Structure 1
Amino acid sequence: MTSRTCPCGLPQSYDACCGRFHRGTAAAPSAESLMRSRYSAFVEGDAGYLLRTWHPRTRPERLELDPRMRWTGLEILDRTDGSAFHSTGTVTFRASYRGGSLHERSRFERVDWAWVYVDGDILD
């Protein structure tokens, strides 16, 4: 266990924040928390978590992450629905990496009560 700050941008330790989702000791309670944990999984190189939290109908067979990719920050720009009272939600974010950024509106759904990533639209 480590006490470093979570890559997702919240002021908690990685273990208390996204690390517990990655380890499987807790499930993300909202679309936004799942999106943050998926960003942290990209930072950590945790392809298994990314695949487990991808909707079965859109999930690729495998995912190979580039170990040279250096993610540098996450900014949540907007969110719609995605709480315990919803079955779908969207999160618009900007994820920065060394040399650029990814701006996306991601769609999430609940499958068997767990939030999963469906797909997203790349924005300008």
Structure 2
Amino acid sequence: MKCPCNPSKLYTNCCKKAHQNIHSVTTSEELMRSRYSAFVMGNIDYLQKSHHSATRPSNSEKKETLIWTKSIEWIKLDVLKSTENTVEFKAFFYENNSLNVIHENSFFVKENKHWVYKDAL
């Protein structure tokens, strides 16, 4: 299976490692890519684990996210810029027969010795 974050790579050689062991993630971009793949695959547990404890969605928000991510068709991820703690990206998806894009500059930090998503800048 191709990896959702980068179709030129196999999932096994890309985001699967992060999904199985978050401590294997070495950069903020790698974490952001693995989070995009988790959205595509509906891996809400990984999304929670890779989210900073201070900004982590509640259990009800977790359920809403799962319903939403399964209701749309993810198209592609474009990473525009990456620094040590930030990643600017565009994530394209179809919802209600309309092409949409999430354009965000995400901020990442380390918590419990692994990278986590803190918030959008």
TM-score by length of 1: 0.83
Q: Does 1:29 align with 2:26?
A: yes
CA distance in 2, matches of 1:56, 1:69: 27
- Distance in 1, Cα, partners of 2:7 & 2:31: 13
Which residue identity is paired with 1:44?
A: M
Q: Flag structure 2 segments of 5+ consecutive residues without an equivalent.
A: none
Q: Which residue of 1 aligns with 2:108?
A: 108
The share of aligned pairs that are identical, in percent, is 38
Q: Which amino acid aligns with 2:86?
A: T
Match of 1:95 in 2: 91
Report how many aligned residue pairs link the two structures: 111
Deviation beyond 6 Å, 4+ runs, structure 1: none
Comparing both structures, which one devotes a greater share of its residues to strand?
2
**Alpha-carbon distance in structure 2 between the residues aligned to 1:14 and 1:42:** 14
Q: Match of 1:120, as an amino acid?
A: A
Contact 2:23 2:114 (8 Å CA) reproduced: no
Distance in structure 1 (CA, Å) of the matches to 2:105 and 2:35: 14
Structure 1 segments unaligned to the other structure (5+ residues): 82-88
Supply the RMSD in Å over aligned alpha carbons: 1.5
72, 76, 81: which one aligns with 1:78:
81
TM-superposed CA distance for 1:26, in Å, is 5.5
TM-score of the superposed pair, with normalisation by structure 2? 0.85
1:47 and 2:50 aligned: no
